[in-house]
Chains A and B, each alone.
Chain A
Amino acid sequence: MTTVDRVVGAGIDRIDGPAKVRGTAPYAYEHDPGEPIAHVALVQSTVNRGRITQLDPTRAEAMAGVLAVLTPANAPRLSGDLASDLPVLQSLDVHYQGQVVAVVVAETSEVAKAAVGEVSVEYAAEPPDVRLAVDRPDLYAPEKIMAGYETDSVIGDVDGALAAAAVTVDATYETPTQHNNPIEMHTSMARWDGDQLTMWDANQGPHNIVNDLVAGFALDGGHQVRIISPYVGGAFGSKAFTHPNQMVAAMAARVVGRTVVLELTRQQMFSLVGHRTPTIQRVRLGADPEGRLSAISHEVVEHTSRVNEFAEQTATPTRVLYAAPNRRTTHRLARLDVPPPTIMRAPGETPGMFALESAMDELAHELGIDPVELRIRNEPTEDPERHIPWSSRSLVQCLRTGAERFGWAGRDLRPGVRTDGRWLVGTGVAAATYPARRRKADCRISVAGTPAGPARYVVEIDGSDIGTGAWTALTQIAADALGVGMGDVELRIGDSRLPFAGGAGGSTGLASWGSAIVLTARELRRRLEDEYGGQVPPDGVTVDGGVPGPSPHAQERSMHSFGAHFVEVRVDADTGEVRVPRATSVYAAGTIVNAKTARSQFLGGFCMGLSMALHEESVQDEVHGHYANHDLAEYHVATNADIGEIDIAWLDEDDPYVNELGLKGIGEIGITGAAAAVANGYWHATCKRIRDLPITPDKYFR
């Protein structure tokens, strides 16, 4: 074995970059199954709640090129164990608008789409109940919220402390429904060979999809399903779980007996693959005149659907960010006639940090204290709710480093006093945080006995690269762990036939898959050393290994990454147009595996937060019940022109507790707090506090 320098940490170009740029990396739609593909199109409910009273497919069935029309009357029966919106075409009941009520399979996508218009459906419908409000009598406390957190946390006497506090803030913040909008639309190409299902699919983890297909089609086990997903064009959570598209594709392929493909349209993404719940969040803070918090209260109202319970963990960042003896966080849900919500980049932290970090800014103003200083004064020495030490925590250093890089010193605290021509100019700050977790992952590493030349190591794990750079980062990790060059490592990911791994989600990918690779590589090297004298035997060696689950220290140490955003915000005094010409974000997230792809993740996270602050909102029509701006012309995301100079930095942070690599995961932290930083800068520029995102020009005229 040759020894090479460590590649973990280096800014290595993506190993899949050339293939992607040349268009040779096959995405799900581009796979060639070697036979003519049949195309699937969807008939969707135009009402939010009710029952189908009549469904007539005969005109569509009669069209040339139509192979089948599946309806609740003739669709294959799925097993009863499926949850949420997965029992597609199993009943005449409608629970949300956009629900699949019939499926057309045809020779071409054009014929399939044309036939959709020929399926006539009538409903007995009730008016949509879609409006979230804090005074709804039907709000309820879910048993648990997402990621296994407690629904509420109550410590001390919050109301008493608020009543006694010298300075208080009591404000309500709102974030709108948002849709994930990855570039690649959800695509599933399905084919049955007997009782064996193969699916080329866009998802965040093939193993996540297998179980639902096994359950739905009453198969014997995971060996009967193979999900192949080597390249995925973005997801942001919308491809984490099985959605109706995979069930429909499998069903349609079974009915027509050949390979079918279903690619959702952009409009269909707005109802079939989830969204981020809107939130209404009341935050109350109490502090002494020096700014030390005596009480924090964060009460969240959000929605879920009739068919699933998705309780976004919105107030959970408030459980870790600041010290205060009296604390309360609560989550209440309204069950509405909406499509099932799901995870969207940093679920919980993203909306929650907007509220908390806006409230901290308001408190800083009430106190006349610099908002960076206010945060530093409330730095907790241990996890303030679990009362255990941090595995590592560098929020204060992030704030200080960011302030210095940005040029925060000497900032005038007063809002609405700086102009540059017709621009009102301000600056804002907010913290960022995200939990560091590790999940179970298996791994197999094989090395073949090669007579001449260096050995090649095949590293197999069902990890997933949704555009993040995992192909490259995992290869780096494997190379270091094996003590070889990256060129000697052949990585295989994105296939449910590979050893088990959880999906790309919760920023757990590298922590889990990387740790599995490190431990398996160690075992391989030990065996080569102990059993073969450091030489690869002629028959080669294969080692199976992995990590069983969370870090063994997860109960004794509170594990989170932290960061700080600083932004300059300019608002046109006449029009309310907002620009963010420059920003600095500093993160502390343990080991950084690839300086180049990590920067892209931090940058992309921040940009998505900026986009949330200024643009993103899915507007639900309360009369017709649909998302009225369901395409990219009307659902605005930030364009290149909206992004100014962004300075990204990270601190060296050594965390021996989180996992084998000391890394905390970086896919999500960048978005957390970013919207608050922009909103705080907007207030500093204009004196106007916009508490309901997004901050579009109309709100300037309130």
Chain B
Amino acid sequence: MREFRYAAATDPAAAVALLAGEPSGAFLGGGTNLVDLMKLGVATPDVLVDVRTLTSREVTDAADGGLRIGAGVPNADLAADRRVRERYPVLAQALLAAASGQLRNRATTAGNLLQRTRCGYFTDVTRPCNKRSPGSGCGALRGLHRNHAVLGQTLDGPGTCVATQPSDMAVAMVALDAVVQVLGPDGARSIPIGELHRLPGDDASRDTTLRHGELVTAVDLPPMDMPSRYRKVRDRASFAFALVSVAAALRVEDGVVADVRLALGGVAHKPWRAAVAEGALRGRPATEESFAAAADAELAAATPLPGNGYKVPLARNVVVRTLLELTGGLA
């Protein structure tokens, strides 16, 4: 572990100003991801600007009937919020399916969104990894990638990366069309959550479209009146990252899909909004056949690796099952 400075700011604007002058500094939320990466030598910030209690730790009602989640709200509090549990069960379920009670008490909303991949080559500084050390190669491509991406990877060139974004919460938020509020050196801006995380493209080192020094201050949830749920498949019953997860919301009218939201976790470098499947479903009968056809249409683009082909049928099954459960067709 290298030496670093620790800085506290008095308000968000001061924190942004502090970090703007520190090209290799980082914001510190709960530290449950960043400090681990520092211990491993993967993250080497010169300065940590502590924002855990600086951004709001409250969930407040928004004028449009939605909710505003302060960036500092602990995962545990968010999962326990009555409004979240009642109106956005997909989000509460995703949070509770993640990590452990201790970690959820400590982890913040912003930190969770921005947690980095669990790829074992990324976290081991003695291995090649384009994300950690651009140009060094991708160790996972020919190594252990059982839990890596099947969609949207970069499979050759300097950007090669087959990692997944590991956050469960983010998958639910993508299905909910959340909007991320950001304060940067050039002022505030709003980012639709689907545009926050990015595919590796030709630069695997960048997980998101945030610019250096941009502070996440809140996440807005638009109103939601559809039933929703989150289903996570993992290697053991608890305390493991998703192999595949599905965040879904569905409204059926007269046996026909009136509206649907579908996002997949564990399959790509970003939470994967299943727009193709959604398009294939709207206006179609809410039956197992249409659900399966829609899942297949979405997954037709999959390019699985030698060691993770199972994710395609698994994702398909979980999509179908979750949608069926939302129709009440399957307990």
Contacts and interface: CB of A to CB of B under 8 A. Distances in A.
B116 interface: no
A615 B240 CA distance: 11
Contact of A575 (B1, B240, B317): B317
Contacts of B237: 577, 579, 639, 641-642
A630 B318 CA distance: 29
Interface in B213-246: 233-241, 243
Interface in B127-146: 127, 139, 142-144, 146
Interface in B300-326: 308-311, 313-314, 317-318, 320-321
Nearest to B140: A628
A574 B321 contact: yes
A574 B310 contact: no
Interface in A622-657: 622-624, 626, 628-630, 633-634, 636, 638-642
Given A114-B1, A641-B238, A642-B237, A624 B143 contact: yes
B126 interface: yes
Contacts, number: 91
Given A114-B2, A641-B238, A701-B310, A621 B41 contact: no
B121 interface: yes
B120 interface: yes
Given A575-B314, A579-B237, A639-B238, A117 B143 contact: no
Given A110-B1, A629-B120, A697-B314, A615 B139 contact: no
Contacts of B118: 633-634
A422 interface: yes
Interface string B1-31: 1110000000000000000000000000000
Given A576-B314, A621-B139, A628-B120, A697 B243 contact: yes
A629 B120 CA distance: 6
A92 to B, nearest CB: 19
- Residue in A576, A614, A622 whose Cβ sees the most chain B Cβ within 10 Å: A576
A698 B143 contact: no
Chain A at the B interface: mostly helix, strand, loop or mixed?
Answer: loop
Contact of B238 (A114, A422, A621, A640): A640
B331 interface: yes
Nearest to B309: A701
Contact of B318 (A574, A621, A638, A642): A574
A623 B143 contact: yes
B236 A614 contact: yes
A231 B12 CA distance: 49
A698 to B, nearest CB: 4
A421 interface: yes
Contacts of B234: 577
B63 interface: no
For A621, A630, A636, the residue with the greatest tally of chain B CB atoms inside 10 Å of its CB is A621
Nearest to B312: A701
Interface in B66-115: none
A46 to B, nearest CB: 5
Interface in B267-326: 308-311, 313-314, 317-318, 320-321
Interface in A591-626: 614-615, 619, 621-624, 626
Contacts of B238: 639-642
A696 B331 contact: no
Nearest to A44: B126
A113 interface: yes
A621 B143 contact: yes
For chain B, which range describes its interface: under 10, 10 to 19, 20 to 34, or 35 or more residues?
35 or more
A628 B143 contact: yes
A222 to B, nearest CB: 39
Nearest to A696: B235
Contacts of A633: 118, 241
A383 to B, nearest CB: 39
Contacts of B124: 626, 630
Contacts of A638: 236
A698 B127 contact: no
Contact of B331 (A113, A421, A615, A642): A421
A638 B240 CA distance: 11
Contact of A639 (B236, B310, B321): B236
A639 B313 CA distance: 26
B33 to A, nearest CB: 11
Contacts of B146: 619, 696, 698
Given A575-B317, A641-B237, A619 B243 contact: no
Nearest to B238: A641
Given A624-B143, A628-B144, A698-B146, A636 B240 contact: yes
Nearest to B126: A46
A65 to B, nearest CB: 11
B317 A698 contact: no
B3 to A, nearest CB: 8
Contacts of A628: 120-121, 143-144
Interface in A367-413: none
Interface string A567-578: 000000011110
Given A624-B139, A638-B236, A422 B310 contact: no
A376 B271 CA distance: 54
Contacts of A110: 1
Contacts of A621: 139, 143-144
Contact of A701 (B235, B314, B331): B314
A621 B311 CA distance: 21
A574 B330 CA distance: 12
A624 B127 contact: yes
B144 A619 contact: yes
Interface in A550-572: none
Contacts of A642: 236-238
Among A113, A626, A629, A638: residue with most chain B CB under 10 A: A626
A638 B238 CA distance: 9
Given A574-B318, A628-B120, A697-B310, A615 B235 contact: yes
Interface string A403-444: 000000000000000000110000000000000000000000
A419 to B, nearest CB: 13
A422 B330 contact: yes
A60 to B, nearest CB: 13
Interface in A107-123: 110, 113-114, 117
Nearest to A573: B317
A633 B32 CA distance: 13
Nearest to A642: B237
Interface in A665-702: 696-702
Contacts of B120: 628-630, 634
A113 to B, nearest CB: 6
19 contacts: A46-B126, A421-B331, A575-B233, A575-B321, A615-B235, A619-B144, A621-B139, A624-B139, A626-B127, A634-B118, A636-B235, A636-B236, A639-B237, A640-B238, A641-B238, A696-B235, A697-B235, A698-B243, A698-B311
Closest 3 CB pairs of A and B: A641-B237, A641-B238, A628-B144
Given A621-B139, A642-B238, A698-B243, 11 more contacts: A114-B1, A422-B321, A422-B330, A575-B314, A628-B120, A629-B144, A633-B118, A636-B240, A698-B146, A699-B310, A701-B314
Interface of A: 46, 110, 113-114, 117, 421-422, 574-577, 579, 614-615, 619, 621-624, 626, 628-630, 633-634, 636, 638-642, 696-702
